[in-house]
Structure 1
Amino acid sequence: MVYQPVLLEKKDGVALVTLNRPDAGNASDAEMARELIALWPTLKADEDVRAVVLTGAGTRHFCTGADMKLASDKGDTGFDAWGDIPEDFFKPVICAVNGVVAGGGWHFMWQADFAIASESATFLEPHVSVGWVPLREMLGMALRVPQGPIRRMAYMGTAERMDAKRAYELGIVTEVVPADELVDHAMELATIIAKQAPLAVQATKETFQRAFDLRYAWRPLYDHMHEKRIQVDWESEDGKEGPRAFAEKRAPVWKGR
């Protein structure tokens, strides 16, 4: 069987998209990124698709971001663009969080319209623990939920892990359900949305996007970081050391440069 990094099923107006690298924590590599980048415009153009459910394969991980092993081997992630949900994708997206959300997995959390989680889901933000900066991940979430807990996660790195109950209390997810009911329940919610007037739903989402979405404002923030010569991710020595230490299962030796 040919390996597929992203799986797609369609039923009753809903597209079920599954990140399919369970042995790597459903982390993204170049192939998965390319598949996602191509998929979103396809779903946008498909008039039979009115809502999307996004989940991860297996029971342990939703998405753990960029593949740290690849970053350790290559000095970067091996791809230039993340498979973001585009800012002009106005069909509602529900995240069905089946396991760990970490790193770039947060992109989907703040770009989706809302998320539900299994009882075993957990959430962490590991960027600073590998010498990287969570530029959009935590900024995006800070526009959706209270800033204090998000800043705490951003600064604490892998030392901080949030369970599904706490994520519900903060509004990161709208409900918590048993693991074996997660995808079915997400599909039920998406099917209800798909039965509403499609143009009205999409216009409603566009209104939210333009009013509150970080992507309409984040580029100046990113440019400011570079203007101040704040090196991010693998551009810095620490950004290369972090993934190496992660892959070698040792404590990183930070140099502050």
Structure 2
Amino acid sequence: MRFTSVVTSSDGVDEQLFTLGETPTDIPGDIPDGIPGVLWTPEGATGTRPLILMGHGGGHHKKAPDIVARAHRFVAECGFAVVAVDVPGHGDRPVHEEYDRIATENQARVAAGAELAPLIADFQALVARRTVPEWRAVLDAVQEVEYVGPGPVGYWGVSLGCGLGLPFVAAEPRVRAAVLGLGGALGPSAEAAARITVPVEFLVQWDDERVPRAQGLALFDALASAEKTLHANPGRHAELPAYELDSAVRFFARHLG
């Protein structure tokens, strides 16, 4: 892990860019290019603290405005560390030819009348085969940072961040709580949900044009967590209410300490 920027501070939150790995032999999972990420911590932090990994949405990146806003709240109000990285083909990552080809083919299928949700689910399952080992490597590296340390871990991700987050949370025993949502119970997503037992706050948009309501509710039902809460709000896929962030802050404060 190599920090690639100086520390910048804003409203009590430090931000620093980093790159993890540069060749396939540097980190697990045969990752052929470095992973660009950003770490937020309380200004002048020392010692161990909880860490939240955030997964961004499709077409976005590690410093998308919604990611930055949530990270600042988690850091400023809870004293947590927060990390986000660009998923393959996004942000500062190079173009991924296979993923681009599949995305283009899926757009053509939808234009020809195919249902969108199954295509999204299959595509996210493909990308997750790469992001799960990447994100586990990111946790390993960030928890080696002196002012983060091996504290409890949470995960936040909706839409693409949910599709990639489900198999990650299912596979990663360090994650103690997760906020997920805007995803459906199709194939690999439902299978991953059935392996998740940590507390989950799950978000559904009632008028979601990308993920049919019934599939979102079915995904919530598929979660094996003994403690899980469904938050359903009116609106389309991208219209998640801002006040859900207030709830996420309380949720992680309760479960990560």
- What TM-score bracket applies, with the shorter chain setting the length? 0.3 to 0.5
Please identify which structure carries the higher strand content: 2
Higher relative contact order (CA 8 A, sep 6+): 1
More helix by share: 1
TM-score, normalised via structure 2 length = 0.38
